[in-house]
Structures are given as C-alpha cells and as structure tokens.
Amino acid sequence: MTSQRWVPSQPPRVPDWQSTWRGLTGKKLRNSVYNVPEPAFDEFYHRRTVLGRTYHLVHDPELIGEVLLHQHEAFRRPGIARKALSGLLGESLLLADGEEWRGQRKIVAPRFNPRSIDAMAAVMMEEAEHQIERLRGDGSEMDVMALATRTTTAVIARTLFASDKRLLTPVAFDHVQRLVAQAGQPRLLTLLGMSGLDLSPSARRARISAQFLRETIAAMADDRIGEGGADDFFGELLAAFLADRAPERARKLAIDNAITFYIAGHETVSTLLAWSAYCLAGQPELQEELRTEALAALGNPAEALARAVPQLQAFVDEVLRLYPPGVLIAREAASDVTVGNIAMSAGDIVTIYPWVVHRHRKLWDEPDAFVADRMAQHNKAKLPRFQFLPFGAGPRVCVGARFAIAEALTVLSVWLAHIRFRAPPGFAPMPSGTIALRPEGGMPLFVERLTA
C-alpha cells in the first residue's frame, strides 16, 4: 500500500470548551462535529450540565466498554432520543429497551446472518452495475452522494422488500430524503421534547413524508398478511412478530422496524460510499491499487466478493474511522451507577462521539491523516476493543452492520472496476449531521467511465 499521508477535510475546531448555550443554537445544533473543542481530542472524560441535566462525555475505550457492554443493563436509550424519533420509528428495535428490545433483537438479528447476506450479494452487484450504466461518465462533475443514495435505496428495496415498486418511485425517494434531512437538523423544540410544535416549513414537509412512508409500508404489510406472508425479509419479519404477539401489535412492530431498516439501511451505506469516493479521489495512487484488487476479485461469485478484497476492507475501515456514519452514541442511566471512578445519577446522560474517539490524539498516531494500512487485519487486531466503533458496540451494536459492510465492499468493487473519481481543485467537503455524517451540499466529484 502507498505510504503517502493524505489529510482529508474536517470541520473547524475551537480552542477550548464553550458555553452550553452555544451548542443549542446555530450551526453547532445542526452539526455535532462542527466546532468541537480541541481539548476533547486529548481528554478521556468531560462533564457538562445542559438544561439542568448532567452529561458525561466519555472517550476512554475502557469506560466505553463499561457503558456499552459490561454494565449495559444499567443504561437505556435517552428519553429525549425516543421523543425525537418515535414519531417516525415508533417502537422499533432502535428505540426499544429492556425485554421489548431483547425480544425484537431475537427476531431481527437472524435475518442479517452471513448466509442471508451472501444471498443478497448478487442483487447488490447488479444494482451497482445498473446505476453505473445510467451515468454519462465523461469525466464531468456529478454528485456522487446522489449516485450512492440511488444505489443503496434500490438495494434495500430489492433485498428487504422484494422489489416492491411502491418504494422505488421518485416520489418515495424524495420523501425519504426529506425525512433524513430533517432528522439530521434538529431544532431546540426537539431537544425540549416538543417537536410536534415545530411549525417550520421543513418540519411540516417532514411530517407529510413520515405519514407517506408509514402508510406505504403499512399497505405492504397488509398485502403480506392477506397473502399469508411473503418470501422476503419484510414478510419473514412480519411472520415472526405474528408468531408470538397479538396481530395488531405484531403489525405495528413490523412496520416500525421496516421503516427503520429502510431509512437507516440506505442512509448508512450511502454516506459511507460518498466518503469513500472522496477518499479515493484524494489518493489517485491508492485508487489504482484498489482497482487492481477489485478487478481480480470480481472474477469470484458475488457472494464471495466481499471476502476477496482485504485491501479494500482496510480502506473502508479507515474511511469509517475518519467519517463514522453514526455521529453520537447516547445512553441514559436507569439508576445510580458508578463507571470506573465516575459516579452517575439516575437520569444522567452518557455521550460517546465516535468522531472524537476515532481522532483522539492519545489513541491514534496521526489521527487526522488517512493511513491506508492502519486498519489492515494484522493492525486492526491490536486495537483495544472499544477504540473503533463505527456501528456502536456491545449487545446494541448495529444489527445491520454486516449487511452495510458487505454492500459497501460490493458497490465499491464495481465502482472501481468501471469508473475513476477525481476531486475538483481545492475541494474540501464539510461533514455535517447529528444522526448520519453526510457531506454538506453533496459530494461533487469528476466521474470518468473506464474503457475495458
């Protein structure tokens, strides 16, 4: 691998911790990685009070392990997060706690086992190739974020919902993008648990989009119930909930989880693909090395492709380190608890920012640089368990993480085989978001189709 040290773009930082109120207004409210104080990248713990509540900012891998694994039952999803997202995601696995979470996890997790994901690999490859065929590919500038989103939306619709046309229309696509954009731009009313009082035009449009998506997926659920189930992810999920829950409750939980997987499933991978394209464009030599590996690996069956690109896997992990899709992991103490030597009271919030952990100066050499072999398997195996957490960690690690990585490796292999990325002069995309780390304004890159 190339030894060149390239430093990709990141938002500005501020020299010291700022007042709480600055984080509740302006750009900082809408972008969690904007104006992060420099001391955060040197300190493992910081305590703050926000609106009368104590927040514990934890960046020490050992303490993270205590919160997310060893004492995970002492913590729950913060009530504020449930209030902000329950209108869209209902009581899905993402927001559930306790016995409800355990029951849903047992139903959902088997649907993302390695064999199931291998069975989806051919669709991932076909859709990546199909979207490339639609490109001009003459070296002109295009928004790669849009390409990634079209690809991942189609993959989700085909693999999890049996290519249901109701999820593949331009109208459905626009509604989902509106929902993601609104979810990533919270307002003060959301933090106060009063998002229903937000009468801004964007909030009203998001509520219309949420209603459209819920009604669409509810109709899909009713079709599958009427047909006695369907031979797809959603049909199997619905049947599993119906097996041990009352019909109306089962229907609601299946719809809640389907909405969650549809939105989060495509958004996580599309942002990863967009940042990967940027990191390829910024390192032409590395892009050629990875292209050579991808071309050789594409001779394998689709289900074996993701395991045949170890260099690309290391590249993707380094992209995930620098641009983790999940901006924030938050937990609320369910009762008084001690983590390490830190006493926490019931109701306290623990916040873990992968963006900070992944760039912490006491954890990484050259933390802001892209080091191509940093995450090669022999190096990655030496990392402390909770130092790299792009999909969370512990029992609540993202249930679709394996799916996301397989899709990213498959799509990137196809992209590398067929197109070349170049960055416009001086291009520095701005990471932005409070839920998913999107490039602000998209990812405009020069895209050139390669001849055979």
Predicted local distance difference test score (pLDDT) of residue 24? 61
N-term to C-term CA, the chain: 24
Pairing of strands 45-50, 337-339: unpaired
Q: What is the pLDDT of residue 451?
A: 81
Other C-beta atoms lying within 10 Å of the C-beta of residue 207: 17
Mode of pairing for the β-strands spanning 138-143 and 444-449: antiparallel
User: How confident is the model at residue 2, as a pLDDT?
Assistant: 46
Tokens (6 digits) for 191: 């933090």
Q: What is the DSSP string of 25-62?
A: SHHHHH-TTTTEEGGGGT-SEEEEEETTEEEEEE--HH
pLDDT at 266: 85
**Res 333: pLDDT:** 98
DSSP class of residue 444?
A: E
Q: How far is CA 28 from CA 7, 222, 441, in A?
A: 23, 42, 17
Question: How much is the pTM?
Answer: 0.94
* Phi, psi dihedral angles at 139 (to 5 degrees): 90, 0
Tell me the β-bridge partners of 392. Answer: 390
Distance (Å, whole) CA 89 – CA 263: 10
Q: Give one word for 243, left, alpha or beta, with left for phi > 0 and alpha for psi -120 to 50.
A: alpha
Which among 408, 434, 428, 394 has a CA at the least distance from the CA of 64?
A: 394
Residue with tokens 């009762």: 335
Q: For 103-138, how does the pLDDT look when each residue is reduced to its tens digit (9 = 90+)?
A: 999 999 998 999 999 999 999 999 999 999 989 888
Q: What pLDDT score does 230 carry? A: 63
Q: Tens of pLDDT along the chain (452 residues)?
A: 445 699 999 999 999 998 776 666 667 777 889 999 999 999 999 999 988 899 999 999 999 999 999 999 999 999 888 877 888 899 999 999 999 999 999 999 998 999 999 999 999 999 999 999 989 888 999 999 999 999 999 999 999 998 899 998 999 988 888 887 766 555 544 555 555 555 577 778 888 999 999 999 999 999 888 765 567 889 999 999 999 899 999 999 999 999 999 988 888 999 999 999 999 999 999 999 999 999 999 999 999 999 999 999 999 999 999 999 988 999 999 999 999 999 999 999 999 999 999 999 999 999 999 999 999 999 999 999 999 999 999 999 999 999 999 999 999 999 999 999 999 999 999 999 867 799 999 999 999 999 86
Beta strands in 128-266 (DSSP E): 138-143
SS3 329: strand
Count the alpha carbons within 13 Å of 115 in the hemisphere toward its beta carbon: 1
